Structure 1
Amino acid sequence: MANISKKVSWSGRGDDRGERTPLLNGAEDGKYNRHVLHFVFQSLDYDNSENQLFLEEERRMSHMGFRCLETRRWVICGLIGFLTGLIACLIDIAVEKLAGYKYSAVKQNIEKFTEFGGLSISLILWAVLNSAFVMVGAIAVAFFEPIAAGSGIPQIKCYLNGVKIPRVVRLKTLAIKVFGVICSVAGGLAVGKEGPMIHSGAVVAAGVSQGRSTSLKKDFKIFEYFRRDTEKRDFVSAGAAAGVSAAFGAPVGGVLFSLEEGASFWNQMLTWRIFFASMISTFTLNFFLSIYHGKPGELSSPGLINFGRFDSDYIPFESFIFFSFHFPGGVLGALFNVINYWLTIFRIRYIHRPCLQVMEAMLVAAVTATISFAMIYFSNDCQPLGQDNTEEYSLQLFCADGEYNSMATAFFNTPERSVRSLFHNPPGSYNPLTLGVFTLAYFVLAVWTYGLTVSAGVFIPSLLIGAAWGRLFGILLSTITSSQSIWADPGKYALIGAAAQLGGIVRMTLSLTVILVEATGSVTYGFPIMLVLMTAKIVGDYFIEGLYDVHIKLQSVPFLHWEAPPTSHWLTAREVMSSPVTCFNRVEKVGRIVDVLSNTSTNHNGFPVVILSFLQPGKICGLILRSQLIVLLKHKVFVERASSRLSHRKLQLKDFRDAYPRFPPIQSIHVSQDERECMMDLTEFMNPTPYTVPQETSLPRVFKLFRALGLRHLVVVDNENRVVGLVTRKDLARYHLGKDGLEELHLAQT
């Protein structure tokens, strides 16, 4: 029998808890425990409650009504793609304008003071401009919407997994996200604007599909049928895919990203709708950017980043060389994640106040500018400036007339342009020392930057690091072979290196392969890219998890993976369930319901409904949620005890949808003493067919049922169908495979 190692004892119930906003970094007052799961994270209801109201509404709906609903789903997906494309266009134009102004000012200043030895003024100007941009963006995030920090991909993964992350899909979050990423990229940080597009698309999807905005306190009464977690999840999946499509011009890659990294439920029609949203997104961005660039109708900008087409070929022998890239990619990716892991813990413990977070972001911006300037200043890598040169901000510095500083090309451009130059600049554009120093410096800056309280992504920095050492490998290869050799073109090695580095950090395989193939327009390199991504993931997983999984753990989120931990078959539902369980009778006294909800305001969100048996646990006959009880109390759905006559109006599903998703707390509902003596009949509102399992069911079987069906509560019954326990997400998520075997995490409320 496998051993289970308890890092710390488990206390409390496993019921779905929490109405408070959790601290998303897994800490409070600078404390952090990596062996803790927080109770404050709630689950989402991805399983529809098929109560009498729901069934009556579905039965009344005609075939044409269902067709109209399906048409609305397509319309919503089209709107999601259109709005996501517009947001991407706004970000791209704003970053280009601000970065252009900044680079022009610094470039002119450098050229002005080069002759007079006053370059320190240029350095100060560069550092001040970077810090100013980053300060504004960091203040917006730290003081107004902390959930907008980072790329948002870990939070969206958690949401699609079934975890309710507070404020993650609010309109205010979207506004701060867009503003913050513009400031971060314009501020010269080692970040990209592509990652946050996934979060932005998800927020757009969540808002459009509900036809309301809680931030603006507007309710447009449109699409209200879709106001439930099940429908909202599908649209958020479409929004995430549309974000990927807008970022990389890869609609198929966007669909696969949603499938691989997020969606807990999938079907064929959902695939088509998500693909439709992705296509609309990239077309919208392409169309409006063509107008902005003064070439209406010339659709040549399908995504925020354009890697350019790879027309070069490779010979079969090079496949073995490409395959060898998996080891440095996996090792460097694991090193990146390990360093960032400990750095994030340091931030949680010592830099948890907003003012300190802003100061750290400004410090990183200033250090980034200083390191960049110093490396440009001391570099003597001068390259000829030809007519076909693609560098927009070529800097001469101490190079001769007609030449530019190659190190400035890597640091002075935006990261996206630097990636493209590493992919496509001709052989001889960089010397090995330049690329080696740049790789080391940018690796350190990227590790330090990810996790700051700014809106930023890690995709482009990862690609840039990998492209740099990949091109360096290609240059070294060309020195030991003929320069005319077909397999010594450094550009294609930059592509494979970029894939290996990105795969080693984020550990995605299928979606990244398609994204890179679509973004480069070269199916030829699809096989080596896929091979490198898969093997880099295997190498990296040997040391540590992917970056997004690391940060999900750091936030102490009860995330459920696809499979139960190995060696867990010996555990049963009886051993993992929460017990005893608070149950209600089919007809319950209002006073008891109010007392239970008041006394367990942060503890319980689901209650089995039972039929009382004399001196025995009740037999299960249904399940009702806290949110449903809140609505029933709000509308006074009571039965007078004396006459047993109904004294309330008929409730409809619309009443529950109007309260979704921010149900009022029990403290805001007034129930008089006379009303406390009334009764409440739960028959019409409870789910009469909740999922149940026998108490001897193994943990992997419970896990598979819970995960595949997107459940929030799973009732455990005995041989006579009596309720003996309840399994929730946290009961399952607290078990994981550690170094000493199966480990059990601590469940804490703070």
Structure 2
Amino acid sequence: MHPSLLQDAGCPKEIPHNEKLLSLKYESLDYDNSENQLFLEEERRMSFLGFKCLEISRWVICGLIGFLTGLIACCIDIAVENLAGVKYFVVKQNIEKFTEVGGLSISLILWAVLNAAFVMVGAIIVAFFEPGAAGSGIPQIKCYLNGVKIPRVVRLKTLVVKVCGVICSVAGGLAVGKEGPMIHSGAVVAAGVSQGRSTSLKKDFKIFEYFRRDTEKRDFVSAGAAAGVSAAFGAPVGGVLFSLEEGASFWNQMLTWRIFFASMISTFTLNFFLSIYNKKPGDLSSPGLINFGRFESDVSVCGLLGALFNILNYWLTIFRIRYVHRPCLQVMEAMLVGAVTATVSFAMIYFSNDCQPLGPDQSEDYPLQVHTHTHTHTHTHTHTIVETQLSPFQSTIFLLFCADGEYNSMATAFFNTPERSVRSLFHNPPGSYNPLTLSLFTLTYFFLACWTYGLTVSAGVFIPSLLIGAAWGRLFGILLASITPDGSIWADPGKYALIGAAAQLGGIVRMTLSLTVIMVEATGNVTYGLPIMLVLLTAKIVGDYFVEGLYDIHIKLQSVPFLHLEAPATSHWLTAREVMSAPVTCFNRIEKVGTIVDVLSNTSTNHNGFPVVVPVAVCGLILRSQLIVLLKHKVFVELARSRLTQRKLQLKDFRDAYPRFPPIQSIHVSQDERECMMDLTEFMNPTPYTVPQETSLPRVFKLFRALGLRHLVVVDSENRVVGLVTRKDLARYHLGKHGLEEMQLAQT
């Protein structure tokens, strides 16, 4: 291992994650097919009709992925709206009861307790049952599609906990959204459906067995992520672009139409079932979990707030890693955030004097079913609680502490699901919010969202980011109208709310092309495409100057060996000889069983590839997982009586063991069997990728990244193995503030 090119100057050594470390616990995925004799024989036996059937199967699987993802989104949406509606109704009734007798503190406590109770349930199932379901899951899926095997990221148990957890988080009033977790949910659905079995349920349906390998599974997970975006925002094209821009590191052009098909099925399924639930069958007007509403076509924000959000969340995450790492503490922190969110919301509503007339313009958002209850409290004038009952599917909004016939703008923003708050900021008419209300809301919600992201709950950052941006964008529009001579030309602050929402989300997650299309599809107006893209590019450039995107930050904090698009710009002076791992354990083409068992037992489980040599020149590469299957099935060459017999295996035997191959410790080999031989010729990859030892690091990186490799053999001028390049060898090098830096490898 080379000495670090930059010492950890000023970095506190007690921080357990340490940015200068890469974790050895993460394995790579085999995105390059092993074209051994078994694989080639199977492919050659398959007829043209067989290949067509496989292609049809891929379309069927993508359709199932879209259908199930849309169905899950529908269930989440209905559950959240109903639970939130019940919570708001209980709190409303309590406020009505205690306002008249001066006991609003009881209402505050009730609101905080209800929030904490919902959040507690969501945090417990994540912290104690499936920690992999925490957060939005987007960084984990991004790593998976990059080629990193994240433990338990696409398990059925993770999906169940993710769905239940996000329902509890949003219903608990946290500053989170349910859209981000839909991307993870779609990916898990894709991973399960495409394999035709569930290891969590120990069920094997004996279908789609051909697709049981990392290459095929990756393509379907890309489709699942796109279907999740489509279900969340009603943006099928945006889903495809998201999967391309933020997810898939390796893209197959033939895959594009299948992913788009899955995205279309997803948004249609959600739309169809929601129309039935709303008792309007066939009214397909709600294509996603969030509908921004349509904008009419009449037509310097930047990434500073996004960068600030990421920096604060970065240091908060480090604090959590150091001090809040026990499940019980994680649950307590989540409950605290839920209670504080309710308390802050109540205080902001109570002390707000932003009362607006409830006029005919609100008839759509507030269908008139108004009841008034006059009361007096510490304010000097009489106030009224105005209850507005929305449609059965929507949450009940009650508008507090204003005169008869008025509603509280702060309550509209705080006492609601985040999705409806975003919509109100986009579409409420001019004058619906005063600048002070928007300023206080932006500041408060910014810190609440920053504190919330990273809790041990299932939650996303998309909607909180949009809500923050919509608030300050609308504020910018109001201020611009007030300082210009002819304010009428800036009359619609909702359009600035849309631009601000895009800028804030772009500043946090650094998405450009895909987010532009998502916003265009969600608003139903292509007019805003160009300004939104310009804003997102500005936000990305400005934000990248200060700090990385939020997902990249959390990937780095987990010490994941993530490979970016290009090698560091200043790395041309490094060669394969300097970055490779050496010495390398090699096997002979015909190897003694005892030797193989000893090597697998004595080497780290992270050592997954072994060059095969004859006599010293490389002639193939075999994986640990393949050797495990061969030992399990005792594929040995018996030397007794000069007989050469070896059990015949098929690819099905390897697929049946995929993806959780047993450890070597579970394989029993007798002393007699140790003396047998194993012929690796039929099972090894006879054409592994190799590079000369003088190859530059950028060239090695490009080859490794573009082909989705797991191992790259380094040879000398005589084709002898001198080293092996893996993902971790490349991910060690990155461009820091002081030039090229090298991270150390550690078991974390």
Same fold, judged at TM 0.5 (above): yes
Matched, 1:302 2:300: no
In the TM superposition, 1:168-567 aligns within 5 A as: 168-314=153-299, 324-326=300-302, 330-389=303-362, 390-391=365-366, 392=390, 393-481=396-484, 485-567=488-570
- The letter of the residue matching 2:146 is N
Per-residue deviation, 1:104 = 1.1
The answer to whether the 8 Å contact 1:7/1:746 transfers is no
Q: Which amino acid letter does the alignment assign opposite residue 666 of structure 2? A: S
Residue number among 659, 679, 682 corresponding to 1:681 in the alignment: 679
TM-score, reference length from structure 2: 0.94
1:296–1:603 CA distance, 2 compared to 1 (3 A): closer
Deviations 1:130-181 (A, max 9, x none): 0000000000000000000000000000000000001000000000000000
Moved over 6 A (4+): 27-30
Aligned residue in 2 for 1:141: 126
- Corresponding position of 1:608: 611
Q: Secondary structure at the match of 2:401?
A: coil
* CA–CA separation in structure 2 for the residues paired with 1:583 and 1:28: 37
Give the C-alpha shift of residue 543 in structure 1.
0.3
Which AA in structure 1 matches 2:208? F
Letter in 1 for 2:676: C
Aligned AA for 1:463?
Answer: L
Cα deviation 1:535-574 (Å, max 9, x = unaligned): 1000000000000000000000000001000100000000
Contact 2:613 2:619 in 1 (8 A): yes
Cα distance in 2 for partners of 1:88, 1:642 equals 62
* Structure 1 residue 485 displacement after superposition: 1.6
Displacement after TM superposition at 1:121 (Å): 0.7
Q: Deviations over 1:403-429 (max 9, x none)?
A: 111100000010000000000000000
Whether contact under 8 Å (1:427, 1:489) holds in the other structure is yes
> Gaps spanning 5+ residues in structure 2: where?
367-389, 391-395
* Deviation at residue 484 of structure 1 after TM alignment: 6.1
Aligned pair in 2 of structure 1 residues 212, 396: CA closer, same or farther (>3 Å)? closer
Range with greater deviation from structure 2 (635-644 or 51-60): 635-644
Q: Is the 8 A contact 1:114 1:397 kept in 2?
A: no
Q: CA deviation at 1:5?
A: 1.8
Matched, 1:653 2:626: no
Match among 83, 99, 105 for residue 98 of structure 1: 83
Could you tell me which amino acid in structure 1 is paired with residue 318 of structure 2?
I
**Paired residue secondary structure (1:189):** coil
Aligned to 2:112: 127
CA distance in 1, matches of 2:120, 2:176: 15
Say whether residues 1:573 and 2:576 are aligned partners: yes
How far apart, CA to CA, are the structure 2 residues paired with 1:530 and 1:111?
47
Offset of residue 34 of structure 1: 1.4
Deviation at 1:398, TM superposition (A): 2.5
Q: Which moved more, 1:737-746 or 1:642-651?
A: 642-651
- Structure 1 unaligned segments of length 5 or more: list them: 10-26, 315-323, 613-617
For residues 558-592 of structure 1, give each alpha carbon's deviation from its aligned partner in whole angstroms, at most 9, with x where no partner exists. Answer: 00001000100000000000111000000000000
Match of 2:743 in 1: 745
- Deviation (angstroms), 1:604: 1.0
1:36-55 equivalences under 5 Å are 36-55=21-40
Root mean square deviation of aligned Cα? 1.5
Give 1:483 shift: 7.0
* Residue type of the alignment partner of 1:435: L
TM-aligned CA distance change 1:125 to 1:611, over 3 Å: same
Alpha-carbon distance between aligned partners in 2 of 1:603 and 1:242, rounded to the nearest angstrom: 33
Conserved 8 A contact 2:399-2:408: yes
Q: 1:292 to 1:394 in 2, by over 3 A?
A: closer
Q: Give the counterpart letter for 2:428 in structure 1.
A: N
For the Cα contact (< 8 Å) 1:394–1:405, is it kept in 2? no
- The aligned counterpart of 1:22 is none
Name the stretch that deviates more: 259-268 or 477-486: 477-486
Sort the Cα spacing of 1:488 and 1:680 in 2 relative to 1 into closer, same or farther, 3 A.
same
Measure how far apart 1:325 and its partner are: 1.0
Which whole-Å deviations, capped at 9, do the CAs of 1:323-342 have from their partners, x for residues lacking one?
Answer: x112xxx1110000000000
Following superposition, the deviation at residue 267 of structure 1 comes to: 2.5
Residue type matched to 2:5 in 1?
A: S
**CA deviation string 1:45-97 (max 9, x = no partner):** 00000000000000000000000000000000000000000000000000010
* Amino acid of the structure 2 residue aligned with 1:738: G
1:632-653 Cα offsets, whole Å, 9 max, x none, are: 0000000112445344431000
User: 1:264 Cα deviation (Å)?
Assistant: 1.8
For residue 6 of structure 1, report the CA deviation from its aligned partner.
3.7
Contact 2:27 / 2:606 at 8 angstroms: preserved in 1?
no
CA distance in 2, matches of 1:554, 1:99: 33
Cα distance in 2 between the residues matched to 1:210 and 1:252: 26
- Any idea what the Cα deviations from partners look like across 1:500-552, whole Å, max 9, x if unmatched? 10110000000000000000001000000000001100000000000000000
**1:8 deviation in Å?**
6.6
Q: Which residue identity is paired with 1:607?
A: F
Report which structure shows greater RCO (CA 8 Å, sep ≥6): 1
